[in-house]
Structures are given as structure tokens and as C-alpha cells.
Structure 1
């Protein structure tokens, strides 16, 4: 897949918003899934905190004029200062310097609650788990000057939509593997899909309930057990599961903290962070969502522990509908839902037209541990980053954000031509505000840091903030 040919799939992987913060959906297609997608957008917007999907601190920061202030957390300031270079990382923001927005106030720069959690909770927990006692996480303030010709709209990349891009890159680079290795890889991912056919078929049936297809209803418990059982075979389902729970909590929580954050335009990121680390305490700094598959019998206690006001039964029913929709919308090609699953031909080339996005996600994950390919995996993600940078520069996007939801995750495009920025080491005062105290002569380099050197894998490099990474 050449960079030029990648334009369309990268455009499809982004979510664009109009001036009112409403996602562009284009002309309404006359098919059930498109109508269901539009219905979900309305349903999410009508939830207790749904107004924050369109009017929020992140959008205000990105559309507020010619200067953006962002906060990045590192645990290795001494090393990056010595080298003078900060590298972006892969993950949910593909190839960006992972940040969160800052808001200027009379008392200093107010951190978004996402950054506050990472700086005060997540990063310290990661260092403690490693037994590191000679350093602390350091906030860095970036001041970005947005050029007049930059894109003035809102564009977020949705990492759950990257499946076809992963598949295309693999097809372009597959000859780095030998013939026998390619056959083994294809057979491995086909077996994962085949052995998960019951879950996929159930999701399709739930999704197409009410359409001209024969639909079905299923109780939350059996569906979520099928999901939990399928995650080890289809790791991307762990990401869908996590995003659906995160979405539900942020949109339906009415706790005092959630209401206070809503007053300043922020979704409460602490909710899903606490779900993750309450379920998997060793996940701090690692964020391997392929391991995220809490079983349904654990959900009520887990959700009540995070927010006693949440109704677990309502949440479980929501998760069935939402996850089944995401399976159809993100993992199956348009029009690819088969009417008779038992007639499926379980061969790679036969599956690709219908399950291309799912196969792409599976291959991207499999390559991390497959034979000799871990030696090439860095170049796979670097190639993906090159495509993203090329698309962002074509569009004039300086600060892409996580388009699954406007949580506050925003990146800096390291390849933007003549990007104007300044970087400061910052300190946090007793009120929680941060203040730039020392300007640093750092350069953002358009080259990915190897994943083994990031905060998600190691403590020896200039690590980006931990993030959910597919």
C-alpha cells in the first residue's frame, strides 16, 4: 500500500466534526448499519453527559485560536534532556507525542483531569511497580503555535478503525516473512476468527435485530461471557470492551466529581482508569488491553466500586448493544455480515473481503510475537506512522486527538512542516495548577521510539505518557 493509495482508508479512520461538534456522517446510506450508527450518535448525545461529546475542553483548546498549550508526562527527563530529542510513540494516537490539554487561568495552567490522573496516579504507580525510587514523573508544557494555513476543523483518529490499514501494510510488507511463515500467520489468524464464530454470529444477530435480517435478543450475562471467552482469541475485542465500558461510565456517571468536571467541559477520565487498574493492578504503564476481559459476574461489584450511582443491570444491557454494534461497525467490512455463518469458507483470501478489518487487527497483534517478525515490528508501526503523518500534513492537522471519544487524549504531529513550539519543564503547585519553570531545548523528531523503550514496556527511555494502544 503506497502512501498515496492510503488516502482513502486514513480518511475513513478519522472522525470529523462540524462547527457544532457534531460528527460528519455524510449522506445517510440506506442500510441498517448506517442508520444504527446515526441512532447511536443521537443516543450518546442524549445521555446524562452527552453534551460533552460536542462541547468540551478539548475542542475548546483545539479551536481557540493560534496557540495551544498541552501537557506531556515523562519519567526520564534527564535522558531526553541529554539527547535533546523527544520521540513520538505508536498507540491510539498512531505516531504522536501523547498529551492532554491545558487551560490558562489566573492561577496558572489547569490540567485536564486525564493529565492529572496520569501525573499523580498512573505514572507513579508504574515507577513504584518497577521499584524505581530515584526519579519522579515530570510534567512538560508544550506551547504550539498553529500556523494560519493549518486545518481549523476538528479531526480525531479512531484507532478502532485502523484494521484495513493494518491489513494493507501487512500485504505491502509480508515478503519480509518466508513462505512458510506467511502460511502459518494466515492460518493462525483464520483459526482465531473461526474459533470465535459463535460470538461474531451472535453479535451480528443482535446488531441486525429489527432489520430485514432475522434478529435476536440475548441476555447480558451469556453475551458478556461469550465476549470474555473470545477476547484471548480476538485481542481487539479487549479494546472494544474497554472503550464501551469507558464510554458508558463517562456518559452516565452523575457523581459529584463527574458533575464538577462537566462544569469545566471535561469527561471524567478517572472512572475508566480506576476500572482498568481495579481489574488489573499490574496494568499501570503497560495498557495491554488485550488482557481486558472482566467476566459478567464481576461487573456489578466493579462498577459499584468505581461509582456507586451506576446501575449495573442498565450498564450490562448497554454493553451488549454497544459492543455488538462496534463489532459490526469496526471489525466487519461494509456489507460483510453473512446471513449463514456455517457456510463461511475458512481461508484467508476468502475471509479478507468480509473480515478485512478484523484480520488486520489480528495480524497487527500477532506480529508482535510471531517468529522473526518482532525484529520488523518497529518498521511496521513506523510505516503506519509515515502514512498517518503524510495524511495529517495533507490535511494540515497539527494536533490529532483520539476520535473514539473526546476524552482529552491529544497528540502533536511530529512531522508537521515548520511546526512552531516551545517546551518547558513544569512544576505543580498546591492547588494542582502547573507552571512552566525552565525552557528546554528539545526537538520533536518524526521517528517512533521503539515500543520496548516506552513507558508501556521499559523505564530506560524518554517515554511518552501511557496510553491505550491497539
Structure 2
């Protein structure tokens, strides 16, 4: 695939948050264009915290000039300092140093509520879980010098849109598998999809035809389908997290909004309340809170949200995301019972879904786990190439501007300084010692990340 085609794929994998204010051309042929516009209006204008979709502290800092200050949390400073190198990790930010924003104050740096959760709750919980409670998570402050040519727009990578990229990369690397293994993988993917046609057809009917369905039936079928289509666990999590952040009116949420921040504690608490074993080891493919327990979970996390309203929202939002992120753009799969259940035929209409399934399957498929690092490294190289083309120094998670940001490790002449920091009595970070650390444009092997083991890097909450 030439650069132009790869550029298009990566451009489509980013959410351009300034774009919806510009009227799009008529007759684009996008069957979801009207729903996309309606969702943009609904999220930003018809929810208690919708104004943060366009106006927030993160966007203010990214579109400005000068210096950016970011928090990176590690619990392996000694190991990192030994070589003086910090490697990026994969996940929702593809191949970057996972960070959260910091705000300069008279007395130090105020943490974004995402960063405070990771530093004070999530990382300690992980260390306790792996039997190393004596270790202390270490906050590092990065000061990034933003060059004059840096992109001032708001383009965030949305990992739910990476399906077509996963499929394309596999098409280039599939010969790392034997002919028998390739056949087995294709058959596995087709079988998973075929046996999930009931849910896919239902979501398509809701999204494209406005079909009415009870939330109980929808969520029950979703729950049954997630084990076959793990990407649905990610979509479910993102839709539920989005709902909580947009609709909560709690005191913590209001205080976060005063700082221009979504309340990230909501989805963190939701995740660990329902799956406490996921502390520091996110596996959203297994995110499937029991439909019967959903109301109680929502009430436990935030009593200000309405569970009945949340369920109806989830039916519509998940259906839209399935159609928009898992179906080939422009396609409306119909006549499900007449479908040819063959890989190439399905790829024409469900290409992104197949890409997500392949990406997930390869983690445990035959000999391929030995090569999986190169699959994600290949993806990171493409992302870095696109970010450098766009002069994106600090990418961010574009599913919704939560506050998840990264440092592009491959940016030419990246200028940064790093400090070891301590937290004062008021909860602010105070730099104590400048460190000589180099950011290297090479992914750390997934077996060394905190997602999988207990070394080297920070947990990545929405790892794809």
C-alpha cells in the first residue's frame, strides 16, 4: 500500500474535533452522515457536561504554543534509569509515552483528575495485586517544547477506528503464518462473525432503520456476543464511560468541569467495581457487566445518573458505534441470512470488524504471539509517520477528550526535559530532580508492559 492510501487510513482513524463546525459536502454517500451529525449535537449540546466536548483545558493546551507539561507514572524508575531510556507502549495511543496533563501553579503542578487517579489509586492497587506493595509509583514531569510548526488543530487517534488498519497490516504480514495457520485463522474469524450475526443485524437495524428494541433484550444479546466479538467489550466500555462523564452531576464532576476536565474517576471506579482484578491489567475484551447488575453498578458509581435513561442511551449509542466503527464505510449489511460466509466476501462489508478480530486473535494464535510485537511495531511506525506528517507532537485519545495524552517518540528534534517529582500535602506535584532520560522510538515488548506484567511502563486504560 502506498503512502497516500496509508495516509487516508490514518486520517480516518483520527477524530478531528474542529471538523463538525464546518458543513460537509452534500451527497457524500455516507449512510450514517445524518446520525453522525445528530450524535455530535446530542453529545455536545444536550448533556450536562457536553460543553467539554469542544471547550476543555486539554484542547486549550494542545492548540496553544510554548511548553506543555505532562505527567507520566512509572513504578520501575530504577530499571528505566539504568539504561536512561524510556520506551513507548501500544494501546489506545498506539505507540506513545502515556501521560496525563499538568497545569502550572504558583506552588508546582496541579494534576488532571485522570493523573491523580492513576498515581494515587490505580498504580498502587496494581503493585499490591502483583505482590509488590513495597514499591511506590513514581511521578515524572515532562516539559515538552512545542515547536512553531506543530499542528494546532485537534486530531485525536480513536482506537475504535483502527480496524481497517489492523486488516491492512495483517495482509502484509500474514505470511509469517503457515498456509494451514492462515486458513485456520480465517475460518476462526468467519465463524465468530457468523455466530454473531444476530447482534450485528440488530445493531444495524437500530442504527440505520431506527428499529425499536427493549434495552433488556439488546444488552442481553450484547452480553452473549462479546465473547465471540471481543471488540464489543471495548465499544461497551467506551459508550458507558462516555455516558457517565457526560451525564454525571456529582460534586466531583462539577469540580472537574470547573477545571475544564471530564471526571475520569467515574469510568475508573465503574471498571474496578465490576472487575477488580483488572487493576493495571486492562482487558476490555472481557468487559461485560451483567445486564441484571447494570442498574446497581451505575448507582454505586454515581447516584446522580438515571439507570433507565442510561440503558436506552446505550442501545442507541452502541448500535451507532457498531455501524460506524465495525462496518466498511458506506456499507449497510443487509439480508444477513443470504450472506456468503467467506472471509473475502465479509471483508468487503465488515472489513474493520475482521481487522479488530484478527488483531485480538493473533495475541494467542499458534506461533504468532512470537511475532505480535512486530505487528504492533509496524502499526506504531505508520502512526508515527502520520503524526510527523501532520506535525503532531502530543497525540491524544480521540474517542472522547478524557485527558489521555501521549508523547510522539518519533517526532524529529523532539525537545523535552524530565523531572522526578513528589506530591505535596495539597496533592500538587513538585519537581525534585532533573533526570537524563531519552525517549526511544521503539515499542517496549508487550510482555514487559504493566498491562501484561510488572515492568517498565504505565497502565494504559483503553488499550486496543
For the aligned pair, the TM-score class normalised by the smaller chain equals over 0.9
The corresponding residue for 2:429 is: 434
Q: How many Å apart are 1:3 and its aligned residue? A: 4.8
Q: For residue 387 of structure 1, what is the aligned residue in structure 2?
A: 382
Q: CA deviation at 1:335?
A: 2.9
- Alignment partner, residue 458 of structure 1: 453
Provide the residue aligned with 1:240 in structure 2: 235
SS at match of 1:208: helix
Separation in structure 2 between the aligned mates of residue 62 and residue 311 of structure 1, nearest angstrom: 34
**Does 2:282 align with 1:306?**
no
Sort the Cα spacing of 1:74 and 1:26 in 2 relative to 1 into closer, same or farther, 3 A.
Answer: farther
Q: Give the Å deviation of 1:153.
A: 1.3
The aligned residue for residue 44 of structure 2 is 45
When the two structures are superposed, what TM-score results if normalisation uses the length of structure 1? 0.96
Matched, 1:172 2:172: yes
Contact 1:199 1:227 in 2 (8 A): yes
Deviations 1:354-388 (A, max 9, x none): 00000000000000000000000000000000000
**In the alignment, what sits opposite 1:272?**
267
Shift of residue 436 of structure 1? 1.0
1:23 CA drift (Å): 6.5
Distance 1:229 1:25 in 2: 39
Secondary structure (helix, strand or coil) at the match of 1:402 reads: coil
Partner residue in 2 for 1:362: 357
User: Does residue 108 in structure 1 map to residue 102 in structure 2?
Assistant: no
Q: Does 1:225 align with 2:220?
A: yes
**Counterpart in the other structure of 1:412:** 407
Equivalent of 1:261 in 253, 256, 265? 256
Once the 2 structures are TM-superposed, how far is the Cα of residue 2 of structure 1 from its aligned partner?
A: 5.0
Residues 17 and 155, structure 1, Cα contact 8 Å, conserved in 2:
yes
- Separation in 1 of the partners of 2:136 and 2:337? 55
- Matched with 1:212 is none
* SS of alignment partner, residue 222 of structure 2: helix
> 1:157 aligns to what?
157
> In the alignment, which residue of structure 2 is the partner of 1:294?
289
TM-score, normalisation: structure 2: 0.98
Q: Is this contact kept in 2: 1:140–1:425, CA < 8 A?
A: yes
Deviation at 1:260, TM superposition (A): 0.8
Aligned-partner SS, 1:217: coil
Moved over 3 A (4+): 1-5, 21-26, 28-32
Deviation at 1:457, TM superposition (A): 1.1
- Distance in 1, matches of 2:106 and 2:23, equals 39
1:177-216 Cα shifts (integer Å, max 9, x gaps): 110000000000010000000000000011112xxxxx52
Most deviating of 444-453 and 31-40: 31-40
- Which residue is equivalent to 2:461? 467
Taking the aligned partners of 1:198 and 1:393, their CA distance within structure 2 comes to 42
Separation in 2, partners of 1:151, 1:30: 29
Return the alpha-carbon distance in structure 2 between the equivalents of residues 109 and 40 of structure 1: 35
Secondary structure of 1:15 counterpart: strand
Corresponding pairs, count:
462
| 1:87 counterpart residue number | 87
Which residue pairs with 1:34 in the alignment?
Answer: 33
Distance 2:381 2:408 in 1: 11
Decide whether the 8 Å contact of 1:86 with 1:443 is kept in 2: yes
User: Hey, what's the Cα distance between the residues in 2 that align with 1:384 and 1:442?
Assistant: 25
Q: Return the offset for 1:467.
A: 2.5
Which residue is equivalent to 2:393?
Answer: 398
1:138 CA displacement: 0.5
Whether the 8 Å CA contact 1:425–1:437 is kept in 2: the answer is: yes
SS in structure 1 opposite 2:32?
helix
CA distance in 1, matches of 2:424, 2:164: 45
**CA separation in 1, counterparts of 2:107 and 2:22?**
37
Find the residue that maps to 1:436 and give its secondary structure.
Answer: strand
Is 1:202 matched with 2:202? yes
